[in-house]
Amino acid sequence: MLYSRGAKQMLTKKQLELLKFIDNEVSANGVSPSFDEMKVALNLKSKSGIHRLITALEERGFIRKLAHKARALEIIKLPDLKENNSSRLKLVEQESKYSNDLNIVEFKAKSTDLPVMGKIAAGTPIEAINQVSHHISVPSEMIKNHSNHYALEIKGDSMIEAGINDGDVVVIKEQNNANNGDIVVALIEGHEATLKRFRRHGSSIALEPANSAYETRVIPDNLIEIQGRLVGLIRSY
C-alpha cells in the first residue's frame, strides 16, 4: 500500500508510476517530461489520462505546476512505501459517483462472500453470463445488504481511464435504474452485457467508454436493461 508521509492519502499504481517517472526525468535532464512522453511511459492511449493523473498528484500535494513555464512540474514530496512482497487482494473504491480516479484501500476488513456471475465486457459487448462461477470475499462495510450485490470479472480495456482494468473484479449493486454518470451493467437486446458509463438523451441511452480508443454507443432505451450499478472494484496483485 502506498502512503504519503504524515498523511492518510494513498496513490494508485498509475499515480505512483507517473510520479516516479517525472522525478527520474527531472533528476536526469533538469526538465519535466512532456505529456506525450508521459503517455508513452505509462502505456496510455490518450493524454486525457495523463491530465487526470497530474491533477490527482497536484491535489494530493506531490507535485506543483510552475506558472509561465513550459514542461514545468516540480516534485514537492515523494511517498513512503511500505513494501509487501506477498500477493494480496486490494479493494478499490470510487471516491464519488462521478470520479475518474480511484482510491486503493487495504483489504483487511471483515469480509462477506459474493457470487461472481461470470465475465462482463469493458470493450465490445459479449453475451451475458448469469450463472455463478465462484465466490469472492469483499469487506462487509462496503455493502449494506449482500443479498442484492454480486461480482463480475472484467474483460477488456474500454474503462481503463476510470481505473477499471482487464482482469479486475467489479462489485455491482442490483438495480434497474441509473443516474447520468453512473457506471452500470447494461444488458443490450437481452443478450449482450457491457460495463459503461450511463447517459440518458431523451428516449436513447448513451453507453460511454472511459478510453478514447472506443466510441460511445447510443441505443434506444427500450433495447437496454440496467442490471446494476458499480459500487466497488477488487484487484489482485
Strand partners, 3: 10, 80
In CATH terms, is domain 2-81 a member of 1.10.10.10? yes
Tens digit of pLDDT for each residue in 152-188? Answer: 889 889 999 888 988 888 989 999 999 999 999 999 9
Active site residue 196: yes
Active site residue 158: yes
Do the Cβ atoms of 90 and 106 come closer than 8 Å? Answer: yes
pLDDT at residue number 177: 93
Return the residue matching grid coordinates 483487511: 108
**pTM over 0.75, yes/no:** no
Strand partners, 236: 89
pLDDT at residue number 94: 36
Q: Which three cell numbers stand for residue 71?
A: 514542461
Identity at 84, one-letter amino acid code: N
- Where do you find CATH 1.10.10.10 in the chain? 2-81
For the four alpha carbons of 186, 164, 180 and 228, in that order, the dihedral sign comes to positive
In CATH terms, is domain 89-236 a member of 2.10.109.10? yes
- Where do you find CATH 2.10.109.10 in the chain? 89-236
Q: Which of 39, 158, 173, 212 is catalytic?
A: 158
Do the Cβ atoms of 118 and 130 come closer than 8 Å? Answer: yes
Per-residue pLDDT of the chain (237 residues; tens, 9 = 90+): 233 333 334 678 888 889 889 888 888 877 788 888 899 999 888 888 888 888 888 877 888 877 655 567 888 877 755 443 333 334 333 333 333 444 444 444 467 788 888 788 876 655 555 667 778 877 776 676 666 888 888 988 999 988 898 888 898 999 999 999 999 999 998 888 899 999 999 999 999 999 988 999 999 999 999 999 998 888 765
Q: Which of 196, 203, 204, 212 is catalytic?
A: 196
